[in-house]
Chains A and B, each alone.
Chain A
Amino acid sequence: MPTKAMFLFLKQLVEKPFTNPFPVKHAPKNVTALIEKVQKGEVQINPPVSIPEGFRGKLKYNPERCIGCRLCITVCPADAMEWIPELKKIRHYVSRCMFCALCVDVCPGKKLPGEDKPVKALSMSDEFLLADYDKYSDNLIEEPPEAKEMGV
């Protein structure tokens, strides 16, 4: 007995797939070979689904605007912020971050001479492809550049 569901699913067979085939249409047999091909420019990567305005991606830190008030450390629910006493700045671990943007809300920012309004030291970017083999890799730690040189 034909039912409504059967017609619906038969119709689906001829429709364009709803899923976005990211990064390539078919799963590659060899991922490393695919990455090499992409680097050579032989294969084009299908872009991910676009993100809306106001998306909470990876946190960006601008140490020049940081006044060292430590409010972000007070509110951070995941303890992703670390205080660097030598520099009076913070270090942010993206691997611990839960992307709630509370620190961005609470950040007072700093007004440089000649500006009307303070600019926040912390801001949310739209970067979301953050997979990495090492959770302490440079890509996943936001810190003042001096911190690395001083080894603190």
Chain B
Amino acid sequence: MPKTAYYIPVGPIHPALKEPIRVEAEIEGEKVVKVDVKRGFAHRGIEYMGMKRNAIQTLYLSERICGICSISHPYAFVVAAEKALGIEAPPRAQYIRPIIAELERIHSHLLWLGVIAHEMGFDSLLFWIWKGREKVLDILELLTGNRINYSVFMIGGVRRDLKESHIKALKDMITYYWEFTEKMKEIMLSDPVYKARTRGVAQLSKELALKLNVVGPTARAAGLRMDIRQDMPYDAYADIDVRAVVPQDIVGEARGDAYDITMVRIYEIEQSLDIIEYCVDNLPEGKILAIPNYVALLAKIRRTKGEAIGAHEAPRGEVVHYLKFDGRDGPSVWKVIAPSYNNINSWAPLLLGAEVADIPIVVAYIDPCMCCNDRVALLKTPEGKVLGYEYIHKKAVEKTKRIEREVKK
């Protein structure tokens, strides 16, 4: 009897997906034989909005690009804006910024570790990990004033200073998480069930990782030593000498599967704790804003002509912002590249040949963020030809004229 292939469409709105994306899979029995990933459901035109506002408004708009990492985009934005303006944040601000960024990495990685446990059907582990995540969210609330969307960065510095009480709370948190990661290693990495469920699933070889241009922990799990904090250091990272966390340094070999990426993420939490500890211990004294007056800052931006690229290592990979100042108080060109855009490329090759029960793990292991992804909306004819803006505008004018005629009748 010939095998029948079934077509399974998932998304863009589906109970199993938290964000809109469409995966079209063809399956034979339990094996996926054909797969197509369609994205572009979450385009919000944020870049265009940013080009109509002033730079301070755009900085806080950029915080809303991603739903979870709310400091990665502002970080890349301020790095780019400071390069374009030719100003530098005071040393104290350069040490406070990595603290916030690393706290965010801890909370984002813990979130992912919970999500992957949930996708495996291990819900008690999900709630145990998210219970541990509350601690870092409380610290972020104490330091910045909100659990999420911290609004603490400013072009040329930070808006809030670290107090003595904050430093004490940070030290307590560091001790708490050293114990927590030890427990997590026992429960996730040493656990035979977790190992059996993740070893060899979503396996990405080094060659394929290079070919697909994956970034961040996904690339590091495949054994590629790439990290923006190591390759293009900025702020205090240049003093700390951050090294990329790769599995071959931890266990001797990199396989690039879901187990390795769990390991990379747990060890990156420990690396973040080290960075926070260094920044807190070596915190320089001084002011926190290069230009404390926002009106003067906007006036300086209006006088500036220049462009720059800023990059930051977000929890999911590298975030790159391109800015151009051209006689306006905001960016006249703003372009954002988010890490999930590259990482989603790995879905199609990894889903091929996988079992249906592995789809959630393959989809979740890169920690996808759809709202970071969509930078442009294209209209296509059924033949696949992209329609240009002039054509669409012409059609809109034609429709207006047609309606005009009908109304006049």
Q: Given the complex of chains A and B, what is the CA–CA distance between A1 and B131 in angstroms? A: 26
B151 touches A99 (CB 8 A): yes
Given known A3-B193, A18-B134, contact A52–B141 (CB-CB < 8 A): yes
- Cβ-based interface call for B298 (8 A): yes
- Cβ-based interface call for B176 (8 A): no
Given known A55-B145, A99-B146, contact A9–B128 (CB-CB < 8 A): yes
By a CB distance below 8 angstroms, the chain B residues around A71 are 294-295
A75 touches B56 (CB 8 A): yes
By a CB distance below 8 angstroms, the chain B residues around A1 are 192
A4 touches B186 (CB 8 A): yes
Cβ-neighbour of A74 out of B54, B141, B160, B191 (below 8 A):
B54
Q: Given the complex of chains A and B, what is the CA–CA distance between A4 and B131 in angstroms? A: 18
Query: How far, in Å, is B390 (CB) from chain A's closest CB?
Result: 31
- Cβ-based interface call for B124 (8 A): yes
- Cβ-based interface call for A33 (8 A): no
By a CB distance below 8 angstroms, the chain B residues around A100 are 60, 149, 151
Looking at chain A's contact residues, is the secondary structure mostly helix, strand, loop, or mixed? loop
Residue of A nearest to B292 (CB): A105
**A35-84: which residues lie under 8 A (CB-CB) from chain B?**
51-56, 71, 74-77
- Cβ-based interface call for B232 (8 A): no
Given known A5-B125, A51-B141, A77-B53, contact A102–B60 (CB-CB < 8 A): yes
**Size of B's binding interface in residues, CB under 8 A:** 32
Given known A77-B61, A102-B56, A102-B60, contact A56–B187 (CB-CB < 8 A): no
A105 touches B159 (CB 8 A): yes
- Cβ-based interface call for A139 (8 A): no
A101 touches B145 (CB 8 A): yes
Q: Given the complex of chains A and B, what is the CA–CA distance between A99 and B152 in angstroms? A: 11
Binary contact track A9-23/B, C-beta < 8 Å → 1, others 0: 100100000100000
A77 touches B56 (CB 8 A): yes
A105 touches B128 (CB 8 A): no
Query: How far, in Å, is B297 (CB) from chain A's closest CB?
Result: 10
Query: How far, in Å, is A6 (CB) from chain B's closest CB?
Result: 10
Given known A71-B295, A75-B57, contact A8–B151 (CB-CB < 8 A): no
Binding site for B on A (CB under 8 A): 1, 3-5, 8-9, 12, 18, 51-56, 71, 74-77, 98-102, 105-106, 124
Binding site for A on B (CB under 8 A): 53-54, 56-61, 124-125, 128, 131, 134, 138, 141-142, 145-146, 149, 151, 159-160, 183, 186-187, 190-193, 294-295, 298
A-B contact pairs, 28 of them (CB 8 A): A3-B187, A3-B191, A3-B193, A4-B187, A5-B125, A5-B187, A5-B191, A5-B193, A8-B128, A9-B125, A9-B128, A12-B128, A18-B134, A51-B141, A52-B138, A54-B142, A55-B141, A55-B146, A56-B151, A71-B294, A74-B54, A75-B54, A75-B56, A76-B57, A77-B58, A77-B61, A102-B60, A106-B295
9 closest pairs, A vs B, by CB? A100-B151, A77-B60, A56-B145, A77-B57, A52-B142, A5-B187, A4-B186, A9-B124, A18-B131
